[in-house]
Amino acid sequence: MSRPQVWATKVAALIQAGNSSAALAQIKVAPTVKDLQQLRVLLSQAKLLAQHPNIDAATTDMIAALTAPRLHRSP
């Protein structure tokens, strides 16, 4: 059984409440790309991405960072 994902709804609630600094901190430690994409869908439906350009930029940056291949060093 999989648990329903509530991360995106909690972060969207932070943004709607006006606590964008806490939302930015949560976006920087986002669990998965899927969660970030779900957050962007919720925010675009509520028309909050246009009101918060820093949130828009942070979500796109973190999606790019999480989907990019990881750099590693050989032993």
Residue 60 pLDDT: 96
Tens-place pLDDT, residues 12-70: 999 999 999 999 999 999 999 999 999 999 999 999 999 999 999 999 999 999 988 87
* Element of type H or E holding 57: helix 53-67
Residue 69 pLDDT: 80
Categorize the per-residue pLDDT at 71 as very low, low, confident or very high, splitting at 50, 70 and 90. Answer: low
Q: Residue 68 half-sphere exposure, CB side, CA atoms within 13 Å?
A: 9
